[in-house]
Amino acid sequence: MTQTSLPGLFGPIFTLFLVVLGLCVGSFLNVVIARVPAGQSIVHPRSRCPRCGHELSWYENIPLVSWLALRARCRGCKTPISARYPLVELLTGLLYFACLRRFDWTYELVPALVLVSLLVPLTFIDLDHWILPLSMTVSGTLVGLVLAVPRGMDFFRDAALGAAVGFLTFRLMEYVGWKVFKKEALGAGDKYLVAMLCAFLTWRALLGILLFASMQGAVVGILMLLATGRAGPRTEGVPEEEPEGEPPPLTMTWDFTRPGLPLWKRLVLVPFCLLFQPIPDAPLDEEGQEEDWVPDRTSIPFGPWLALAGLELLLLSPWLARVLPADIALMLTGLA
Ligand SMILES: [Zn+2]
């Protein structure tokens, strides 16, 4: 990688431009966070106040500035506007700046900015709804692979291998977790997010992503459970009471461990079950329909922790390689 710092005044001007671009992208990501889970278009119609329908004009839509100028209230009905809108904008701007510090004006900056712009909305959507939309993770994986091509054949191979190995690792963890604990241990969308992260960061980051995400998720989850009685956020409109008694067991249509199967059928079913058997994410009711899954007190959404681990590996790998013992750094970051 060649460092190409810009001379004189151009440096600060281009840096400022990139941060402002980050703020504007963050403003758009707020729209993505609100509309993608609801299946609405992210281009039409113009942004409105969810309360009174007041349509936002361009000067009410300037990142950070408008929120401050409007004193966090809608101009139509004076309903308070959540501080999360400017926070998402600020976060995206700061992450764009961090990417520039890490990669300077090199080609590597492009995939880094794209990855940040995918991880920010995925994180907030998972916190709000406990889902990771496939429309974002699957297309994100493809974009990651396309952006890997200019970085050379070796990098592209590592990225494609990463997407496949990351997906299969999580798929197997999901399956084994389901067989052992008889309940959904991992969100169904997590495996696609890991595939996406590894399409950008290659298979070399997989172990680091797994370790950082689960360690940080476990520590914060336990602290939150002790402090607030919940390890993860609530979902809107979900009653707080715990369901009474034992939940009904989950059932699968194909199962190679089912008693009474002839050996050959069992053997044929093993790879099929491991790779393709859909895992119901909720117990089935009497009609065989999935009941709405409700996160219990100890559930944590894993997506935000995967996203955080991905960002840490994207931005901090050289630093980790300096401070960690060489072989551990190589294992976690892929950098010697
Ligand atoms: Zn309003």
User: Bridge partners of 284?
Assistant: 290
What pLDDT digit, counting tens, does each position of 163-193 carry?
Answer: 999 999 998 888 887 777 766 667 788 999 9
What is the CA(23)–ligand 1 centre distance, in A? 23
Average confidence score pLDDT of the chain: 85
* Contact (Cβ atoms closer than 8 angstroms) between residue 325 and residue 109: no
Percentage of the chain beyond pLDDT 90 is 46
What pLDDT digit, counting tens, does each position of 125-159 carry?
Answer: 999 988 999 999 999 999 999 999 999 999 999 99
What is the CA(48)–ligand 1 centre distance, in A? 8
What is the CA(181)–ligand 1 centre distance, in A? 47
Position 144 scores a pLDDT of 98
Does the pLDDT of residue 8 top 80, yes or no?
no
What is the CA(246)–ligand 1 centre distance, in A? 45
What is the CA(281)–ligand 1 centre distance, in A? 37
What is the CA(61)–ligand 1 centre distance, in A? 14
What pLDDT digit, counting tens, does each position of 231-265 carry?
Answer: 788 765 444 454 555 555 555 566 777 777 888 88
* Contact (Cβ atoms closer than 8 angstroms) between residue 148 and residue 156: yes
- Residue 13, φ and ψ in degrees, nearest 5: -65, -45
What is the CA(73)–ligand 1 centre distance, in A? 8
Angle at 48 between CA 43 and CA 51, to 5 degrees: 140
Does the pLDDT of residue 110 top 80, yes or no?
yes
* Contact (Cβ atoms closer than 8 angstroms) between residue 205 and residue 162: yes
Domain borders along the chain are: 10-105, 124-235+294-336
